[in-house]
A and B are shown apart, each in its own frame.
Chain A
Amino acid sequence: MKKKLISMLLAGTMVLSLAACGGGGSTGGDSGDGGDDAGSAEMGTSDDENTLTVAAWDPNLNIPALEAAAADYKENVNSDFVLDIKEQGGSQDVETAITTAASSGKYETLPDMVLFQDHWIRKFVADYPDAWQNVDDIDINWDDFYAEKIDYSTIDGVHYGVPVDGGTVIMAYRVDLLEEAGYTIDDMKGITWEKFIEVGKAVKEKTGKALLCMNSDGNDLMYMMLQAEGISQFKDGKPNLAGNDKVKEIVQLVVDMVNEGVLLLPNSWSDYTDKAIQGDQVAGVMNGNWIIPTIQAVDANSGKWEITTMPTLTGEEGYASNGGSSLYITANCKKVDLAKDFLAYTFGKSTVTYDNALKDGGVVSTYIPAGESEVYNEGVEFFNNTPIYAQISEMGAHVQTIEQSPFHYTCREKLGAAVINIVNGGDIDEEIQGAEDQLNFEMGN
């Protein structure tokens, strides 16, 4: 009898403890359920009234910027302020966390604020309107920022985000390699793509290096080249690829560049950054200015790079923007006033924040007055002592606003595949039509 009792008790405790395990996961929102909130990778908010949590991912770029802002706010506004940065493995992790939280309706798994790339916000607001708190009444003068930047996070007239870093496109060249081919950086300013290909061929012949590179599985070239022409891949919410002469012209240019060996298309992002750029396979890089730290990682090339504007179809100086991120306040944030005050004081108007963000993380602001500060106007040794940040700041103001779509990445994926297929012998009209069809299909049109 005794044995039976003991075994019953044992079985009972086991079942109960297992049940407790199961319960802990699904009722994470319950109060007083302590014990399982260790580990800083875990997102969520803090109970402390002066602490804000934020998810970000890049220890070389946006995390130093957030730290700069936190220090600035702590020193000048609220000495008790703490910004708890939940570092994620990569930008995709932030996006996945948002998708998961919103899909399950468990917003309490999100931190007070999240940082992500601007192209996502339309998708996220369209899909998960309840996940965000608008910042319409925040104390920020939106006119102090690039109009193009603010346009991303303004949806139907409602502001959702506060800009952190910009994506103003730079065209960086290896001046020493250009020289070998008989050109200077000034020759590359305000040129047509035809001229660019001509120079590219010369560089290829003399140095064996391509003049441009882009990873083929996330090909941003077409987007940037189109934006420089002021053209969007979408029109009134619908894809605008097939039958669009400019799209065809640009796709054809990209294909020509690949075929001439002027453009290198590594297979993946890591091949692009580690092998193509840092492995010294290319004489030029065109992307959002956040690519600069990647270029700078090769000490041996210090002083050999310079930047200028990108080529266009007509030969005018080209301005575009790609990437860049903003901070968004989630539905889980209970301290909205503190969050807004923090954002307004730091990324909204503090040149101290922006100066330190630039110094520590290479974050180039989209706040126009920030570009006038001393830090921005210093020459950068790596780039032959040219004041590249002032240059970028100047370029950013010229970027044209074009129609954005929640399906930006879907479009990029399809158009990138079309380019590969055309390079491999596909028909350009058919492939662009195919990309548009598939895009329409996924958009549910």
Chain B
Amino acid sequence: MENKKGMSLLEKQSRAGWIFLAPATLMIAVMSFWPMISAFLTSLKTGSSANMEWASPIFYNYTRMFADKLFLRSVGNTFLYLAIQVPIMLVLAILLAQLLNNKDLKLKGFFRTCVFLPCATALVSYSLIFKSLFATEGLINTILVNLHIISENYNFLGNAGSAKAVIIIALIWRWTGYNMVFYLAGLQNIEYSVYEAAKIDGANGWKTFWGITVPLLKPTIIMTFIMSINGTLQLFDESVNLTNGGPAFSTITMSHYIYNNTFGTGVANFGYATAMAFFVFIMVGILALINMKVGDTRD
């Protein structure tokens, strides 16, 4: 303890602070930052995964992806899912949250659990369940045929339009409850007296919703938006397990295409795949930034 005698209290504390920080910092650096740097270096290389060489020009993989029709299609597909699924899902989630936040509702806990339950299912299993539901000989077809809505079994997953629709429906089913929970939490933070005051002032339900609920929920809405965008851009399990990207790559997502370029059809093109992954990363970053700027409450 002799050596510590010369230190002031502040120095001691600061030293202790650094010692406490060190393990976590080191872990994050080794487990998170180093792989990122290493991945970036990989994205500048080409060749088979066993002997990779520096690409020439160095950003070859990054320019290459813009000439790749399949990659561009996967980007298009992903953004289509994003543009259709996220708004529908968030609106549904907010409406459900509003309904389930009703003070007089009986069996509230039960209903909340029901809506949230899809979230507890594993991604692969729910994808497979949807796959069998919408199979040509599946339940949905049987019902539709028996109700005489369609005359013969329809191959939902074998046609581009309907396959995309099935993926979107599946996503909505899986994620609405998840977002609803955030809205419920947000709603419970809004004082009931605010609603009472609005009622006294003669505001109807619609007006209270837009005038009180939405503005006060704004931070939550922005958070769910960012999370949903992020999640949708990284969509993988549904594309792989529900449709396998088909028919004819019409439902493939970016992550699925990236996977195909590493372990898929034996291409093992790690450099190119990592470059695409970085492109996705940049897109997620930009979209999140826009979102945060739009939702910035400081004027």
Contacts and interface: CB of A to CB of B under 8 A. Distances in A.
Interface residues on B, range: 20 to 34
A438 B68 CA distance: 8
A268 interface: yes
B48 interface: yes
Interface in A372-426: 406, 409-410, 413, 416-418, 420-421, 424
Interface centre among A127, A406, A438 (most CB of B within 10 A): A127
A2 B69 CA distance: 67
Given A267-B157, A275-B137, A421 B248 contact: yes
Contacts of B69: 434, 437-438, 441
B155 interface: yes
A127 B48 contact: yes
A23 B247 CA distance: 44
Interface string A428-445: 000000100110011000
Interface stretch (A99-107, A226-234, A245-253): A99-107
Interface string B227-271: 000000000000000011111110000000000001101111110
B50 interface: yes
Contacts of A416: 248
Contacts of A102: 49-50
B180 to A, nearest CB: 32
A438 B267 CA distance: 13
Contacts of B269: 442
B171 interface: no
A131 B49 CA distance: 12
Contacts of B248: 416-418, 420-421, 424
A139 interface: no
B152 to A, nearest CB: 11
B50 A127 contact: yes
B246 A217 contact: yes
Contact of B50 (A128, A279, A413): A128
Interface residues on A, range: 35 or more
Interface string B38-56: 0000000000111000000
Contacts of B266: 95, 99, 120, 123, 406, 409-410
A105 B267 CA distance: 17
A128 B243 contact: no
Contacts, number: 80
A271 interface: yes
A217 B50 contact: no
A366 interface: no
Contacts of B160: 424
Interface string B150-170: 000001011110000000000
A267 B158 contact: yes
A216 interface: yes
A126 interface: yes
A267 B243 contact: yes
B67 interface: yes
A96 interface: yes
A420 B268 contact: no
Interface of A is mostly: helix
A130 interface: yes
Contacts of A279: 137
B261 to A, nearest CB: 8
A177 interface: no
Nearest to A409: B265
Contacts of A275: 135-137
Contacts of A271: 135-136
Contact of B247 (A103, A128, A409, A420): A420
Given A409-B266, A442-B267, A99 B49 contact: yes
A216 B246 contact: yes
Interface string A103-114: 101000000000
A265 interface: yes
B224 to A, nearest CB: 33
Contacts of A15: 23
Contacts of A406: 266
Given A271-B135, A417-B248, A438-B70, A216 B158 contact: yes
B247 A216 contact: yes
A99 B249 contact: no
Contacts of B249: 417
A105 B52 CA distance: 12
A410 B265 contact: yes
A275 B69 CA distance: 33
A409 B262 CA distance: 14
Contacts of A420: 246-248
Nearest to A431: B248
Contact of A127 (B23, B49, B68, B159): B49
A176 B230 CA distance: 56
Contacts of B70: 438
B130 to A, nearest CB: 13
Interface in A263-291: 265-268, 271, 275, 279
Interface centre among A96, A99, A120, A441 (most CB of B within 10 A): A99
A409 B260 CA distance: 12
A265 B48 contact: no
Contact of A130 (B50, B159, B243): B50
8 contacts: A99-B263, A102-B50, A127-B48, A216-B158, A267-B246, A406-B266, A424-B160, A441-B67
Shortest beta-carbon contacts, A-B, top 8: A127-B48, A103-B49, A417-B248, A420-B248, A409-B265, A128-B50, A420-B247, A102-B50
